Chains A and B, each alone.
Chain A
Amino acid sequence: MKILVCIKQVPDMEAKFKIDGAGTWYARTDLAWRMNEYDEYAVEQAIQLKEQEQEADITVLCIGGEQVKETIKKALAMGCDRAVHVAMEAVSSLEPLQIAGIIAEFARDQGFALIFTGMQSQDRGSGQVGLLVAEFLTLPAVSTVVEFAYEAGMATVRRELEGGTRACVKVATPAVITCQLGLNSPRYPTLPNIMKAKKKELRTIPAGELLKVAPRQETAKLFFPEKRGGGEVLEGEIGELADRVIQILKEKTTVLS
């Protein structure tokens, strides 16, 4: 059984973002980079499936510049068997359709029984890529999965809906699954596994070989949201801050009376 996991490298969301020179994306300097949170669940689910189906082989795929290799190595250290780095520096200029096109072009005719992606990325957040990969490959897809079980060519999953409701869904493989937060508990790579990962196959393919899809949209402008105003910001020594907060709660709310 062959499994494909698609991951993205994103900045830590606590960073102080700046707009880049072209005004269409965030500047890539002074950021800490990590694996997209949703994709960590995708990687973990693939590995759990391999623990169940011993003969399974997991390929992890990531599109981006040289620096995404760090994130690829993490996925290998978590337990993926081999990696494909689709090399492209200006990856943020691609729209979701093109990202999905690259992945589909790579995956076509490779016989992946399951393709796992995160349900969305933390930076761009379009939530389209996994579903579009399925469309390109004419595979069935289920998005927003919070529970996953597999047996004999059939995946039984739970989709998360609003307000604590879940939908139980069955789909025969091959299929695409997009993973939602909480699907499992992503493992931390252990030191021996980090060492082992260094010997695993990491193939680089130039994005140009796989990019066949033209964009249908582009970013006109990236900007900061207007501050809503009204809110007060308190900074300083914490003892004084606490006194100030209590004073404000007394003035503005009824909870301390």
Chain B
Amino acid sequence: MKILWLAIKDIKLTFFDWKAVLILVITPLLLVLILGYALAGVFEDKQIIEKFTVAVVLNHPNNESENLIKQVEQHANQYIHLKEMNQEEAKTEVKSGEIPVMVTVSGDLQKADSIVIQHNIKAELQGKITEQVFNQIIQSSRLLGQAYKATGNTNAVPYQKEDHMETEDISETLFIENSSANDGKIVSSFQYYAAGISVMFILLTGMSGLSSIIEEKKLGTYSRIRMTYTSLPSFIIGKWLSTTATCLLQFFILILGTSLIFNISWGNHLGVLFLLMLAYVFAIGGIVIFLTIFIQTETMANIIRGVGVQIMVLLGGSMIPIHTFPEMLQYAAYITPNYWAQNGLLNLMGGRGFSSITVELLVLFCIGLLTFSIGFIRLSKGEEGNLG
């Protein structure tokens, strides 16, 4: 109960400071807005790319071409839906915009331009996605192995892209996708930055918890608490609780804000999302308690809040997509909790469920448990001779 009162006091202090609340809630929303608007023009409907239909026209179908379609259906059904129709039908649908993309597959895959991808002028992104899907499937040796066994020709990819209508180029960086080949997760830049900025600001909020411990030591309220019947462990758990609770609250506000104001989808599994949020704030709370062992002065805390968080944000890919980094740095990302949180969020935003974030949950939970345990054990002993 006392732990609760300690935590409530901290939360009260946080929310009485309206400037801090403003920074922690409005700034991230503004950042999402700014980044979102900067990129919005690229997306016609300013919406997330949802699963879309691709018209498939099979000219002289045979085993090979049917096999290809099957493979595509199997591996890419998360974000495209194939619909077989004849050439004329497909053209009409694509021209009218009913269906964004059509793929024409001729029977003989060994011939050049045996696969032609055409898309509606407004469906550049969908065209690009379809292109990548077919590209990946064809490149996978499964199909090529069969198709070219006879000829021994394994080089040329037998497809050609032909833009049906005039198009603009899509800048690569705006099209954010997971780089691993079999992972068809695709999220919009809006979602990407909503996730990145949220985890970043929650990191910042967590570090305010660190500052508040230092401030209490400076103010003498920490010493005073220790003169009461309140034990040091209660004080530490109280700080941990208020830090995680404030982070969680902020997380809720950011998710709610971004979905209501910017119509950003955080996926279809709210329960799993909540689990991920819990795991992330659990990790942050632990890290704060752990850092308290080493960070004793306000200056140090400010450095951690300023520089430390920035480094974590950059390393973890919260601002710049991580796959643009050199390999070494990509491994470094694994030590940042925000990397795991964001990765999990992006998975969920891509429409996937619990199984897609088990590793993230586990890693975050372990970070939280380990750091909290070490911090708690060390701090519970108190600091001999330090009047604080």
Answer yes or no: do A and B interact. no
